[in-house]
Amino acid sequence: MQEEPTEACEIARLPLELLSAALSLTSPRDACRAAAVSPDFRAAAGSDAVWACFLPPPDELPPIADGEGGPPPPPRRMKDLFLRLSGSHVLLPGGLMSMWLDRETGAKCYMVPARALSIAWRDTPRYWDWVPLADSRFPESAVLRLVCWLDIPGKIDSKMLSKGSAYAAHIVYKLTDSSYGLDSPVQEASISVGGTNLTRNVCLQPNQQRSTSQNRRGGEHVVLPRQRADGWMELELGEFTCDGDEDGDVSFGLSETKALNGKSGLVVQGIEIRHKKSG
């Protein structure tokens, strides 16, 4: 006996416009998963109507520089534009910031380069050098020669961030073979947004005896760095949520200004502000 053809699920019978409207309320990750359900879902999940909702509004998306010759022509499809902005870091005009989109959520993420940070004594050659590095996103990185007072603050306009997104700030850096003075005493990291100020104890020097990212020293909780796939290290300074009603800057930084012991060998690329993964 011949079997009756399996009927399509009820939701697949909806017009393409309604499927697209429903998928636009999800996330980039969910839209990609939906594309594997059926040809109807695949057509809806790849539509400009869906991916335009995952991109920031045009007036919130900073202009994109592409080196010489001016900005490149926009991709032909909204999904292509999203994949371009989430697949690599884009250097913004002036070279004082890079931007990308979080691939799972579409949240805007940034790196503030060392040159745009208000590093104490940064323009005094006896304390800091500025050198080009082949594996840096920016023309210059800051190399610490010798200071007793380590202070690396920065900020970003809260309106540049995605409303309702959870973020974390990470300093991205290396240590030279001759670095010293960065393991003790530990440093203090800070995050300030919307009248809320948060601090935590951190340590730039990785602890080779432990594989976890956190430790306790002298009874205090200390956050340790981790090695990145690109060869740099990163240390989480803190996390925050951008609710959208903040007015002004999100401030962040790292400092150690009490012990006044000599410190050397820190190489700073910048501070990343990126979407905080759950879990």
Q: Which residues partner with 141 through β-bridges?
A: 131
Contacts of 105 (CB under 8 A, 6+ apart): 27, 28, 29, 162, 165, 275
Q: What is the DSSP string of 13-53?
A: GS-HHHHHHHHTTS-HHHHHHHTTT-HHHHHHHTSHHHHHH
Distance, CA of 152 to CA of 65 (rounded, Å):
27
Please classify residue 177 by burial: count the beta carbons closer than 10 Å to its beta carbon, then call 0-12 exposed, 13-18 middle and 19+ buried: exposed
Q: What's the whole-model pTM score?
A: 0.84
| Backbone phi, psi, residue 163, to 5° | -60, 135
Q: pLDDT for 207-232, tens place per residue?
A: 754 444 556 555 579 999 999 999 99
Distance, CA of 35 to CA of 15 (rounded, Å):
16
Q: pLDDT for 243-252, tens place per residue?
A: 766 678 999 9
Q: CA dihedral defined by 253, 254, 260, 262, rounded to 10 degrees?
A: -120
Superfamily of domain covering 110-275: Galactose-binding domain-like (2.60.120.260)
Q: pLDDT tens per residue, the chain (279 residues)?
A: 454 444 455 666 667 777 777 888 888 888 888 777 777 777 877 888 888 888 888 776 666 544 433 344 555 688 888 988 998 888 887 778 999 999 999 999 999 999 999 999 999 999 999 999 999 999 999 999 999 999 999 999 998 999 889 999 999 999 999 999 999 899 999 999 988 899 999 999 997 544 445 565 555 799 999 999 999 999 999 999 987 666 789 999 999 998 889 999 999 999 999 999 875
Q: Which helix (H) or strand (E) segment is 266 a member of?
A: strand 264-275
Coil, strand or helix at 81: helix
Domain ranges of the chain: 10-101, 110-275
